[in-house]
Structures are given as C-alpha cells and as structure tokens.
C-alpha cells in the first residue's frame, strides 16, 4: 500500500531544481568531484523502519536497517519493513550496513536483506549484540559478518570512509556518523539527545563534529527529528535515578515491579542502584530483559554487586520488602510480561494488591491506548501504579529544539535534511533550521523514497524510488496492502457468504440460495434479515438465469450485488460478501466458474 506523498510542506520549499548558490561562510574549496546520492528508504514520515542508502560511483553504504511496529488497524501484521525494491538489483553493490545504535527501528530489518545477500554490518559491540537475535531467529547468522567498531574509529568500508562518533541516546554505545564522500562530509546524527551527564560518562563527541565543521566543512547534516516539536532541552538520564530512589524509599515494605525498555541499560542500571540502596534483590521478568542484562554485564556496561541478581523462584521466598522485579512490556505489547501481569495471566508471577508498579517509560506514538489499558488493568488488581504522567520516572532519548539547534550550530552544515520522524516532526525541524539562518533552498524536506543528489552544483531531488509499506506476517514478507485492507473489512464489518447451485445452460436454479454470516449482526434480527436476504438473492439469480447472455460469472455477480444492496439497505453496514455459485448443469467446471469471477 503506497503511502500518500506530500510533495510540498508549508513554509519549506522542496527543491526540485538546482538551488541558487547558498549564502554560506567561507567554505573550503574542493576540486570537481563525483556526485553522491542519498536514498531514503524509510524513517522519513514515520517513526520506524529507518534506512538510508548513500551511493557513490555505484557503490552503496546503508545507514541502519530497521522495522516499524504496526498500528492497531494493521491486523495480523508483525512488522513493517522498508521497501527494498530499489536495492534488489543493486545487492552486489552494498559495501556494508553501519548501525547508529541497537534499537529495532534501526536494526530489525537486517534479516530481510541477509536472506538475499551476504552483509557486513558495522556497529558498536552493544548495537551488534542487540541486532543479532533477530538474525539468529531467521537462521541467517552465516550471511552476516558483524564488525565491531569503537568510539572515534575511522573505517574504510568498501568505497566509503566512515567515522563513528560517540553519541548519547536511550541505549548505550550509540553513534553519530561522519561519512567522508567526494562531495564532502555528511553527518548523520543517529538517534540522540545531548546528555552531558550520561550514566556511563560517555558524552557525545561534539568536539569532533565542530572540528570537522571548522576544517573540512560539513556539506550535509541529517538529524533526528523525533522531538523537534518540543522546545527546550531533554533532561539527562541521570535525573531519573533520584526519582526512582525516592519511590523505592517511600514504599519500604512493598514489593516493587518496574518495567522499562529491555535495551535501556542505563535505566536498568538506575533501577538496580535504587533497589540495592534499599537492600533489595533484583529479579527479571521477560526473556529480553534477562538476555540484555546478561549482555550488559558481559560488555561491562552494567555494574551489579555480586549476589544482587536472583531467580524468580528465590525472589518468591523473600519478603516483599526485599524484592525488586524488572520487567519488559513498558509499551503494552499484547504478549509482554507486564501486559500479562496486569491481566493476571503471567504464569511466572502474580500481582498482589500491596505491590507497587513503576512504568519507567513513555508510550511511543501509537501505543498510548495499549499502555492506558495496562494501567487500567493494574488498577483493577489494586496495585499502586507510578507512571510518567504524574512522576518523573522517565526521560526521552531524543533531542528537543535546544539540542537540535546546538548540533546545527556546531555542524554549520551547508545543506540540511531532517530525518527520523513523522512528517510534522520533519517540518518543525526544517523550520528550526531556517530560524538558525540556513537558506530556505538549503533545507530539504524529504520523505521515504526521495533521492537527493549532492553535486558540485549543490543539492537536488531526483526521481523517487519505491517506498511502500512492506508488511510482514510470520514468514510472509510483503503481505500487500490489499490483504491488510481485507482483514480490516473482515474485522470491522464481518463476512456474509451466499451459495447456490444453478444450471446456467438450462437457466434454472437447482438449490435455493443459502446465506451464512460470520461476525455480522448478532441479535434476533439476524434470522429475519438472513431470510429476507435469501429472498432478495433468489429473485436476482432467477432473473439473471433468464437473461440470454447469462454465465456463471454473471449469476455470481447478480447474487453479490443483490445481497450487498439488501445488506446495505437493511443494516447500513458493508460486510465482505462472497458469492459461491456452482454451475452443476453445464460442462463448465466449478473452478473455471470461480476463475471467471470479477
Ligand atoms: Zn529510532
Ligand atoms: Zn533509538
């Protein structure tokens, strides 16, 4: 299903022709050089499936390769991935994928490329470790070569020259990227906020960005727009710890259960610190939480005093005052540990009314309703719930306007393209760039599928490439928008089947139509309505069978139309209608008759 594309946003020009020469500071002059293309395959106009390709001389470097999680009305869809159509006949030109960080909206789609081509994936040790399980699940590990890079490292990756710069975000070991191209330096911010007091002391390498700006100059900045609508600065992750400790110390006798993102190791560290400071042991709920804590310890990213982590069974033996449970499911995901706990359906743990539950996360867009339901269910179980609406138990991992402006000031880019955000976020970020003094013609508002060319003449937009939502359901990739739309009709309106046997050649109805409904009308009117529907279909089919140019297909069409009209008039609903007309009297086989439909 192709998403609607908006070509022009209010207040910001989309440059489709060569822009006028930018009004810029003294920039280093470069000799004439090859063009560089940036192809946006996902993440611009939505939160999720982040993926961009940089193309130089026919070679490709991918920046991130993520999934998007479906909206509630995308029934049965597990994830949405980028449209790789453009990449498919260029697979052998991919020099590598560089990961900005380990979140699934940046790593979750690697498996859908690794089943087409062997890949080299570059990232921090943590990003690679977080990306790995999804690839392993798909039995594709042998097709992926994981290459670990450290802070500040500069690597030749095929035709590309990439610097990995320390960045701060809601998962440790994130990177911004400085990509040295024939058309100058491209900076990709990665997902970020500027946390000057990060839990691990690893600050963003802003100095290097400023240095590159002052020496080589930065040709193009691509920067995270998630919080571009919000003024001010996102608070440091370190501000959450004292609040957690206060909640722990005001509930000394109760068992405390905290949920957060399993990849948010800094949050997990602070929860563990709060628990330890009150003499509590810590246990985990949810597979990814246990896995990521083990990973954090192995990589030296978590510091946990010996004897602190215990099994759930051991925790059950302790008094509530000595237990802290860290759980997955902060987003109300339907089968997650916290959602099941709230429903009383978690087979490992049962909530007691005396428990305190802290939701140390904020719903990401689209999840508000499910999270609200979890909070309601928790209240139904009588527990005390502490969440981000009324306590400072969460801070965002994304930069607000103050930080976005600061990065722009440090980078002094010649051209700017906002990335990573819904369309309104991109618009606000573009407007901010203009307020920062960038010429309107040097700010491009792009969407998925857009192709940007950097050349000696400046920047321009080329013909877009395919960028439809590609739905994944189980092992089926590219479910197709029509399938999802059909599921939506079935879910919203139900299904009515009308079946009858006819002899088309003789023009007779052999058996009267039967009408069966599924998920449509569920009261005493049903029988009456169905009986009336049978009459309507019988009349229509009989009339069509008298027509000189009749066929099985035309009889089927008549049955569908009569039933649809009847149902629409009587109930004002539009269930899916499936006519099954069996031509039992002629040489036309039922399957041929079915093929003749539509
Ligand atoms: Zn992201
Ligand atoms: Zn992220």
DSSP string, 509-538: EEEEEEEEEESS--STHHHHHHHHHHHHHH
Q: Which of 286, 497, 250 is nearest to 391 (CA)?
A: 250
Nearest to 150 by CA among 168, 165, 161, 136: 165
For tokens 């138990």, what's the residue? 393
pLDDT for res 394: 96
pLDDT grade for 257, boundaries at 50, 70 and 90: very high
Answer yes or no: is pLDDT of 9 > 50: no
pLDDT at site 525: 61
Q: Which residues contact 593 (CB under 8 A, 6 or more apart)?
A: 552, 553, 556, 581, 582, 583
Mean pLDDT (the chain) is 89
* Ligand 1 centroid from CA 174, angstroms: 11
Cα Dmax for the chain: 89
Name the least confident of 6-10, 204-208, 309-313, 322-326: 6-10
> Averaged over 252-263, what is the pLDDT?
97
8-state DSSP, 457 = T
d(CA 479, CA 470): 7
Q: How far is the CA of 541 from the centre of ligand 2 (A)?
A: 59
Q: Which ligand is nearest to the CA of 226?
A: 1
pLDDT over threshold 50, residue 5 = no
Q: Which residues contact 437 (CB under 8 A, 6 or more apart)?
A: none
pLDDT of residue 329: 93
- Tell me the CA–centroid distance for residue 226 and ligand 2, in Å: 10
Which residue in 255, 404, 391 sits closest to 325, CA to CA? 255
Q: How far, in Å, from the CA of 191 to the mean position of ligand 2?
A: 5
> What are the pLDDT digits (tens) for 289-313?
999 999 999 999 999 999 999 999 9
| CA 224 to centroid of ligand 1, rounded, Å | 8
User: Residue 77 Cα, ligand 1 centroid: separation in angstroms?
Assistant: 20
Which range has the worst mean pLDDT, 38-42, 433-437, 472-476? 472-476
Question: Taking 80 as the threshold, does the pLDDT of residue 524 lie above it?
Answer: no
Q: How far is the CA of 127 from the centre of ligand 1 (A)?
A: 13
How many angstroms separate the alpha carbon of residue 50 from the centre of ligand 1? 7
Distance 375 CA to ligand 2 centre (A): 24
Q: Under 8 Å CB-to-CB from 466, ≥6 apart: which residues?
A: 83, 85, 86, 449
Please check the confidence at residue 20 and state whether its pLDDT lies above 70.
Answer: no
Q: Helix, strand, or coil here: 238? A: helix
Specify whether the CB–CB gap between 441 and 19 falls below 8 A: yes
CA distance 228 to 290: 34
Select from 1.10.3720.10, 3.40.50.2300, 3.10.20.580, 3.65.10.10 the CATH code of 494-595.
3.10.20.580
362: CA distance to ligand 2 center in Å?
A: 14
Nearest to 439 by CA among 2, 50, 10, 24: 24
Domain ranges of the chain: 36-233+397-473, 237-387, 494-595
Side-chain half-sphere exposure of 453, counting CA atoms within 13 A: 16
Q: Is-contact 462 452, C-beta < 8 A?
A: yes
pLDDT for the residue 475: 67
CA of 34 to the centre of ligand 2 (A): 32
Beta carbons within 10 angstroms of residue 529's beta carbon: 20
DSSP conformational letter for 21: P
- Give the Å distance between the CA of 126 and the centre of ligand 2: 13
pLDDT in tens, 89-118: 999 999 999 999 999 999 999 999 999 999
Question: What is the per-residue pLDDT for 492?
Answer: 74
CB 84 within 8 A of CB 254: no
Helices (H), 439-586: 481-493, 525-545, 552-571
The ligand whose atoms approach the alpha carbon of 168 most closely is: 2
List helix spans (H) across 392-517: 401-411, 423-435, 481-493
Give the model's pLDDT for residue 309. Answer: 98
The DSSP H or E segment spanning 176 is strand 174-181
The band of 569, judged by pLDDT with boundaries at 50, 70 and 90, is: confident
To which residue do tokens 């008759």 refer?
593
Question: Which ligand sits nearest to residue 170's alpha carbon?
Answer: 2
Residue 48 CA to ligand 1 center (angstroms) comes to 6
Greater confidence (196 vs 569) lies with 196
Q: Choose the weakest-confidence range: 127-131, 293-297, 461-465, 580-584.
A: 580-584
Q: What is the Cα–Cα distance from 276 to 270, expressed in whole angstroms?
A: 10
What is the Cα–Cα distance from 195 to 208, expressed in whole angstroms?
16
In contact, 407 and 223? CB cutoff 8 Å: yes
Q: Which of 546, 111, 194, 218 is nearest to 405 (CA)?
A: 194
Q: Cα separation of 546 and 556, whole Å?
A: 14
| CATH number belonging to domain 237-387 | 3.40.50.10710
* Residue range 356-395, pLDDT digits in tens: 999 999 998 778 999 999 999 999 999 999 999 989 999 9
* Ligand 2 centroid from CA 195, angstroms: 14
Ligand 2 centre distance from Cα of residue 364 (Å): 11
Which ligand sits closest to the CA of 103? 2
Q: How far is the CA of 556 from the centre of ligand 1 (A)?
A: 50
Which residue has 């760039």 as its token pair?
433
Q: Does the 36-233+397-473 domain belong in CATH 3.60.15.10?
A: yes
More confident residue, 153 or 5: 153
Q: State how far the Cα of 325 lies from the Cα of 315, in Å rounded to an integer.
A: 9
For the four alpha carbons of 245, 251, 253 and 257, in that order, the dihedral sign comes to negative
Q: Measured between alpha carbons, how far is 384 from 388 in angstroms, rounded to an integer? A: 14
**Ligand number, closest to the Cα atom of 43:** 1
User: Rounded distance, CA 511 to CA 501, Å?
Assistant: 5
pLDDT over 70 percentage in the chain: 89
pLDDT at residue 491 greater than cutoff 80 = no
Of the listed ranges 148-152, 265-269, 395-399, 467-471, the least confidently predicted one is: 467-471
Q: DSSP code of 115?
A: T
Q: How far is CA 16 from CA 173, 306, 356, in A?
A: 37, 60, 56
Q: How many CB atoms lie within 10 A of CB 551?
A: 16
DSSP 440: G
Confidence of residue 531 (pLDDT cuts 50, 70, 90): confident
**DSSP-based three-state secondary structure for 90:** coil
Residue list, CB under 5 A from ion ligand 1: 105, 191
pLDDT on residue 4? 40
In this predicted structure, which of 50-54, 246-250, 340-344, 587-591 has the lowest mean pLDDT?
A: 587-591
Q: Stretch 565-580: mean pLDDT, rounded? A: 81
3-state secondary structure of 444: coil
- Read off the pLDDT band of 446 (50, 70, 90): very high
Q: Do the beta carbons of residue 75 and residue 484 sit within 8 Å?
A: yes
**Helix, strand, coil shares of the chain as percentages rounded to 5?**
35, 25, 40
* Structure confidence at residue 517 (pLDDT): 78
Query: Which ligand is nearest to the Cα of residue 64, counting in written order?
Result: 1
Mean pLDDT across 413-417: 98
**pLDDT band, residue 125 (cuts 50/70/90):** very high
Q: Are strands 356-359 and 256-259 parallel, antiparallel or unpaired?
A: parallel
Nearest to 419 by CA among 433, 440, 437: 433
DSSP state of 478: -
Tokens representing residue 164 in the block: 């990995």
- Residue 104 · residue 94 · CB < 8 Å: no
pLDDT category of residue 349 using cuts at 50, 70 and 90? very high
Dist. CA 500–CA 541, nearest whole Å: 9
Distance CA 584, CA 587 (A): 8
**How far, in Å, from the CA of 169 to the mean position of ligand 2?**
7
Query: Which pTM does this prediction carry?
Result: 0.83
Q: Is 466 helix (H, G, I), strand (E, B) or coil?
A: coil
Contact 82, 76 (CB under 8 A): no
How many A from CA of 70 to the centre of ligand 1?
15
pLDDT band per the 50, 70, 90 thresholds, residue 563: confident
Strand order in the sheet with 508-518: 508-518, 495-503, 576-583
Which residues are CB-contacts of 299 (< 8 A; sequence separation ≥ 6)?
125, 126, 129
């Amino acid at each position: 299903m192709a998403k609607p594309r908006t070509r022009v946003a209010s207040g910001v020009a989309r440059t489709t022709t060569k822009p006028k020469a930018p009004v810029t500071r003294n920039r280093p002059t470069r000799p004439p050089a090859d063009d560089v293309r940036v192809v946006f395959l996902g993440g611009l106009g939505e939160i999720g499936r982040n993926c961009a390709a940089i193309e130089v001389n026919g070679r490709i470097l991918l920046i991130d390769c993520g999934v998007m999680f479906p909206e509630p009305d995308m029934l049965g869809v597990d994830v949405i991935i980028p449209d790789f159509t453009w990449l498919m006949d260029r697979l052998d030109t991919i020099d590598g994928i560089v990961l900005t960080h380990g979140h699934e909206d940046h790593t979750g789609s690697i498996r859908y490329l690794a089943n087409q081509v062997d890949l080299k994936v570059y990232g921090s040790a943590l990003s690679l470790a977080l990306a790995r399980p999804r690839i392993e699940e798909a039995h594709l590990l042998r097709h992926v070569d994981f290459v670990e890079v450290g802070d500040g490292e500069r690597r030749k990756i095929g035709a590309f020259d990439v610097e990995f710069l320390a960045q701060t975000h809601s998962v440790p070991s994130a990177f911004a990227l400085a990509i040295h191209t024939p058309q100058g330096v491209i900076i990709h911010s990665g997902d970020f906020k500027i946390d000057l007091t990060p839990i691990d002391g690893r600050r963003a390498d802003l100095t290097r960005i400023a240095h590159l700006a002052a020496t080589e100059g930065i040709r193009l900045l691509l920067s995270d727009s998630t919080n571009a609508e919000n003024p001010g600065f996102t608070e440091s992750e370190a501000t959450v710890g004292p609040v957690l400790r206060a909640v722990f110390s005001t509930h000394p006798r109760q068992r405390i259960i905290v949920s957060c993102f399993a990849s948010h190791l800094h949050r997990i560290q602070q929860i563990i610190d709060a628990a330890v400071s009150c003499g509590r042991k810590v246990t985990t709920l949810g597979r990814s939480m246990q896995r990521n804590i083990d990973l954090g310890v192995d990589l030296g990213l978590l510091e946990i005093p010996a004897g602190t982590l215990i099994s759930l069974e051991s925790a059950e033996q302790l008094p509530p005052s000595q237990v802290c449970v860290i759980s997955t499911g902060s987003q109300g995901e339907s089968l997650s540990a916290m959602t099941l706990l709230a429903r009383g359906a978690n087979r490992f743990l049962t909530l007691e009314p005396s428990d305190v539950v802290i939701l140390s996360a904020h719903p990401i867009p689209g999840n508000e309703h499910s999270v609200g339901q979890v909070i309601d269910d928790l209240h139904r179980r009588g527990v005390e719930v502490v969440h981000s609406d009324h306590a400072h138990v969460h801070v965002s991992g994304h930069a607000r306007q103050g930080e976005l402006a600061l990065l722009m000031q440090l980078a002094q880019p010649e051209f700017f393209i906002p990335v990573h955000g819904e369309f309104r976020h991109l618009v606000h970020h573009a407007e901010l760039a203009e307020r920062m003094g960038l010429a309107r013609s040097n700010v491009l508002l792009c969407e998925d599928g857009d192709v940007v060319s950097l050349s000696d003449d400046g920047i321009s937009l080329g013909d877009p490439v395919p960028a439809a939502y590609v739905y994944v359901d189980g092992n089926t990739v590219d479910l197709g928008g029509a399938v999802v739309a059909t599921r939506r009709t079935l879910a919203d309106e139900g299904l009515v089947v009308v079946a009858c046997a006819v002899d088309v050649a003789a023009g007779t109805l052999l058996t009267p139509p039967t009408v069966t409904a599924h998920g449509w009308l569920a009261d005493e009117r049903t029988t009456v309505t169905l009986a009336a529907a049978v009459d309507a279909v019988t009349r229509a089919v009989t009339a069509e069978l008298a027509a000189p140019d009749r066929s099985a297909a035309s009889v089927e069409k008549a049955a569908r139309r009569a039933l649809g009209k009847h149902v629409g008039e009587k109930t004002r609903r539009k269930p899916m209608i499936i006519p099954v007309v069996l031509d039992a009297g002629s040489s036309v086989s039922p399957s041929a008759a079915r093929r003749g439909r539509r």
